[in-house]
Structure 1
Amino acid sequence: MKNKLKQQELSKIINVSQASLSGYENGKYEPDNQTLLDLAAFFGVTTDYLLGNDEIPELSKSSRKVPVLKSLRPEIPAESSREIVGYEEISEEMAKQGEFFAIKMHGDSMEPRIQDGDTVIVQNRTAVESGDVAVVSVSGDEATIKKIAKFGSGITLIPYNPKYDLVSYSKEDLIKLPVVILGKAVQLRGKC
């Protein structure tokens, strides 16, 4: 399997049962047209290659796939998350700048800029600058996406949606709770 992806994970991504996927790999079953297209898109090859009509796959040399996570907790590295809901492509140039993952936005705290269901591409990092949008976890809870403002030795998490309050954390809070930066948002991919 590509990138050490397990059958169970791939079956969820392309929306087929694990038994069907196993049958495709073993030649016991033939995938329908939509499944064939989904497999070709995921692996970056032609359907002819999957059907054995082309000898050389047309792998994209200018991009790399990163996992899209439903949610993220600080104790589980992005690459180990079991809540992968798909994959997004990033350019090879971007991939050279570090490790990346994507997260599916849920909730309305970052509207109108980031909508519920949008995908945010995130660079793994533990420090960001004031004004950056970051993925942050507080007290080990599920991560949230907020704009960061630094003050003295603390930070403020700023939602774009005015119906939500700003939340500030002192230097002591950052350590005690803890408040953990999991990455910097670098690209928004809207659901439309």
Structure 2
Amino acid sequence: VEGDNMEPEFYEGDNIVVNPHKKQEHNNYVVVCNAERETTLKQLKKYGEASVLHPLNPKYDDIELIKDGGHRLIGVVVEKKRSY
């Protein structure tokens, strides 16, 4: 994990395990690749037909997922590992 956009659940340096085959559901933590091939970890929020990538840190804004907007789901987070 890089950055602070998912604090307090995920911190910089945490390691996550992602399952690319798990069905993404409302409130799952997901890894997504954008059109610029940058990856991001966010919480998936589903509101009917609309989906939003939600950072837990209130300093950051939600990202609305637009059909054919260039975002591709990498997988759903299934485990977090933290070193102390």
Normalising by structure 1, we get a TM-score of: 0.41
Q: Deviation string for 1:61-107 (max 9, x for gaps)? A: xxxxxxxxxxxxxxxxxxxxxxxxxxxxxxxxxxxxxxxxxxxx111
Aligned to 1:160: 56
Residue identity (%): 30
Structure 1 runs not aligned, ≥5 long: 1-104
Deviations 1:113-140, CA, capped at 9 Å, x for gaps: 1000100011113740011000011214
- For the aligned residue pairs, the C-alpha RMSD in angstroms reads 1.5
Secondary structure in structure 2 of the residue aligned to 1:164: coil
Note the 1:43-192 alignment, pairs <5 A. Answer: 105-125=1-21, 127-169=23-65, 173-175=66-68, 177-192=69-84
Q: Per chain length, whose mean CA-contact separation is higher, i.e. which structure has more relative contact order (CA < 8 Å, sep 6+)?
A: 2
Residues 160 and 146 of structure 1: is their aligned pair in 2 closer, same or farther, counting only changes over 3 Å?
Answer: same
Which one has a larger percent strand, Structure 1 or Structure 2? 2
Secondary structure of the structure 2 residue equivalent to 1:174 = coil
Q: CA separation in 1, counterparts of 2:3 and 2:23? A: 24
Distance in 2 separating the partners of 1:127 and 1:179: 16
1:174–1:129 distance in 2 versus 1, CA, 3 Å: same
Q: What SS does structure 1 have at the residue aligned with 2:27?
A: coil
Greater C-alpha radius of gyration: 1
Between Structure 1 and Structure 2, how many residues are aligned?
84
TM-score for both structures, normalised by structure 2: 0.88
Structure 2 unpaired stretches of 5+: none
Amino acid at match of 1:112: P
